[in-house]
């Protein structure tokens, strides 16, 4: 499985080299934009993998509200 990071980095570096040959100042690292499609895919994949290992319960007493937990520690 390939991620898009290495190929995007390679393309950005090639574009930097090409533009610099034509005396156009371009910095690939400063101008790199994260692709929203890949970012969404990676985020979704991470969320699915985390929820796949989460234990769920139908018993309301097993539910802990994160906000209540934080308030109890303050």
Band the pLDDT of 1: cuts 50, 70, 90: very low
Query: Per-residue pLDDT averaged across 54-72, rounded?
Result: 61
* Averaged pLDDT of the chain: 76
Tell me what pLDDT residue 48 has: 82
Question: What is the pLDDT, as a whole number, of residue 33?
Answer: 74
What's the rounded mean pLDDT across residues 23-40? Answer: 85
Contact 15, 32 (CB under 8 A): no
Give the sign of the dihedral formed by CA 25, CA 28, CA 32, CA 38. positive
- Give domain limits for the chain: 4-56
User: Are the C-beta atoms of residues 35 and 4 closer than 8 Å to each other?
Assistant: yes
Please tell me the predicted confidence (pLDDT) of residue 32. Answer: 75
- Residue 73 is predicted with a pLDDT of 57
If you ran DSSP here, which 8-state letter would residue 58 be given? S
Q: Is residue 72 over pLDDT 90?
A: no
């Amino acid at each position: 499985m390939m991620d898009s990071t290495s190929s995007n980095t390679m393309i950005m570096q090639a574009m930097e080299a090409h533009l610099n040959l034509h005396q156009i100042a371009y910095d690939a690292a400063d101008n790199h934009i994260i692709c929203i499609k890949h970012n969404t895919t990676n985020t979704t994949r991470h969320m699915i993998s985390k929820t796949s290992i989460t234990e769920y319960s139908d018993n309301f007493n097993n539910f802990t509200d994160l906000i209540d937990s934080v308030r109890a520690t303050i």
